[in-house]
Amino acid sequence: MIKFIENFFKDRNDEMNKLRFRRLILLMIFMSLLSGFIPTIFSFEKYYGLSRFVDQGYIVAYLGTKFELYIAIFMSFFSLTSLILIYFFVSVGKYFFLLYLLINFVLLMFGGDVINYGVLYPIEWVKNVIEAYLIYLMFFGANKKDFEIRKSY
């Protein structure tokens, strides 16, 4: 009887962990969309002329703006793919998401200076914290077993 009660609460706890994990992914997507739409809604683009005075970075300097556009399209597709994979707990999804974050980190390093608006900074910060927390949950936390590669014999 005690074993049944332990298993009952264990399974329920696993489902709650999955639900929380999925909600974190949706919150991260919402924060990303919010940080993309707020400048358009509140006309932050009037400061767009400032962008030509900041360092454009190595990617634009050596590879050109067309290559930067191709990278942006690829990273958008890669982000969407990795988020779909981890949302449905596909085991290879955690590696896609980690690779996406690492490539994004390198591109941000070599992408040059970015003008951050004060309103968007906390939103971006929360999004980055959620990304780090998702990595923790997938590799070390409560959802680690959901992303294990299952071997069939």
Alpha carbons 102 and 96: distance in angstroms, whole number: 10
Q: Which residues, including other chains, have CB under 8 Å from residue 3's CB and lie 6 or more apart?
A: none
| Range of the structural domain that residue 50 is part of | 2-147
Asked if residue 86 belongs to a domain, the reply is yes
Please check the confidence at residue 6 and state whether its pLDDT lies above 90.
no
Distance of CA 102 to the CA centre of its chain: 11
Q: What is the pLDDT of residue 28?
A: 95
Residue 119 included in any domain: yes
Domain membership of residue 137 (yes or no) is yes
DSSP codes of every residue in 6-36: HHHHHHHHHHHHHHHHHHHHHHHHHHHHHHH
Question: Residue 142: left if φ>0, alpha if ψ -120 to 50, beta else—which one?
Answer: alpha
Whether 153 is covered by a domain: the verdict is: no
Show the tokens assigned to 67.
């290559």
Global pTM value = 0.83
Do the domain assignments include residue 110?
yes
For residue 55, pLDDT beyond 70: yes
Mean pLDDT of 57-75: 85
Q: Are 31 and 127 in contact (CB under 8 A)?
A: yes
Q: How many domains does the chain have?
A: 1
Residue 79 lies in a domain: yes
The verdict on residue 152 lying in a domain is no
97 falls within a domain: yes
Q: How confident is the model at residue 42 (pLDDT cuts 50, 70, 90)?
A: confident
CA distance 98 to 42: 33
State the pLDDT at residue 4.
Answer: 57
Can you tell me the distance from the alpha carbon of 60 to that of 132, in angstroms, rounded to the nearest whole number?
A: 28
Name the residue with higher pLDDT: 28 or 49.
28
CA 120 to chain centre: 16
